[in-house]
Structure formats: C-alpha cells, structure tokens
Amino acid sequence: MRKSYFKTDPGAPAPLSIIVERQVRFEEVDPLQIVWHGRYPSYFEDARLALGNRYGFGYQDFYRAEVPTPIRQLQIDYLGPLRFEERFTIEARLHWCEAARINLDYRIRNQKGELVTSGCSVQMMLDRDFEVLLNPPPFYQDLLRHWQAGELS
C-alpha cells in the first residue's frame, strides 16, 4: 500500500470514494498493446466525474455556481501496465479540506486486483475573475457540513 498523497488532519472525516469499472479499448494502447501513459489522466477523470456526480460536486454544480475549478497539480505514479481488453477498476477518493480546493487521489487496479497506477490531483476554486476563492461556494460548504456530520456514505 502506498503512502497517502494528502495529510489527514485529526478529526477529519474519512475520504469519500467511488470505484468505477472499465476495460482497456484498442484506441488506448500503443504498439506494445499496453495503455499509453497519456491515457491515465482520462481514467482518473472517469472516476472523478462519477464521484462528483454522486456527491453533488460535479462539473455542472460548479458551472451553475460560476466557479471554475482548474487543475493546479496532477501526479501519476506508474507501477505496472494495463493491456488491451484487460478489465480494471479506478478508485477516486476525495480528501477532507475546508479550503476552496478539491484534493483527490486515485488508484487503478488490474483484473487481478494489483495496484498498477496511483496518483492525485488538486483543483482550485476560482471566482468569475479567475482569482482564488478564500472559501468554497455555498453548495460545496453544504457538502462539507453533511460530510462532517457523517451523513454521506
């Protein structure tokens, strides 16, 4: 098990998580029939989208609130290959943070359940002028309150 990408503060709730299942498609592999390294951010995004939609912090939620959330940091650690037609899972976990940012880590496991890729992303919440927000928008603050109260599973 790899060390966490994010520090956990005492008293913080456990990360919110989701697991998405996929299969490697032909268009995603290189001539060696392993997934090209540039595809992994897209895999992370599949799980991020599912997690955001499940808990109410998806792209449309931020769009309606007029809060852009660009990527500030993306890290990918390649531990082993995925191959053409192989089934795999992508886990995304949202880590507690009261600041106006989204801290996510990812784990990709092959069909044997072996960890083949891990990574993290940090997204900043901005205002209409693309300045960093000091506090998350109200809908995200509501998510934090429900999360802290243990009302999300």
Q: Does some domain include residue 10? A: no
Average pLDDT, the chain: 95
Region 76-105: mean pLDDT is: 97
- The SS3 of residue 60 is helix
- Write out pLDDT tens, residues 97-124: 999 999 999 999 999 999 999 999 999 9
Residue 116 counted as domain residue: yes
What single letter denotes the amino acid at residue 74?
Answer: L
Give the CA distances from residue 20 to residues 17, 28, 70, 108, in Å, rounded to whole numbers and listed in that order.
10, 17, 23, 10
Q: Is residue 150 part of a domain?
A: no
How many domains is the chain partitioned into structurally? Answer: 1
pTM score, whole prediction: 0.94
**Span 48-75, mean pLDDT?**
96
Residue 9 lies in a domain: no
Residue 5 placed within a domain = no
CATH of the domain at 52: 3.10.129.10
19 contacts 94 by C-beta, under 8 angstroms? no
Q: Is 24 exposed, middle or buried (0-12, 13-18, 19+ CB in 10 A)?
A: buried
Q: What percent of the chain has pLDDT over 70?
A: 99
7 in any annotated domain = no
Q: Which domain holds residue 82?
A: 18-144
Phi then psi for 9, rounded to 5 degrees?
-80, 145
- Please report whether residue 151 resides in a domain: no
Query: Phi and psi dihedrals of 16, rounded to 5?
Result: -85, 140
Model confidence at 77: pLDDT above 60: yes
The predicted pLDDT at position 69 comes to 97
Q: Does 90 have pLDDT greater than 80?
A: yes
Is 11 domain-assigned?
no
* Model confidence band, residue 2 (pLDDT cutoffs 50, 70, 90): low
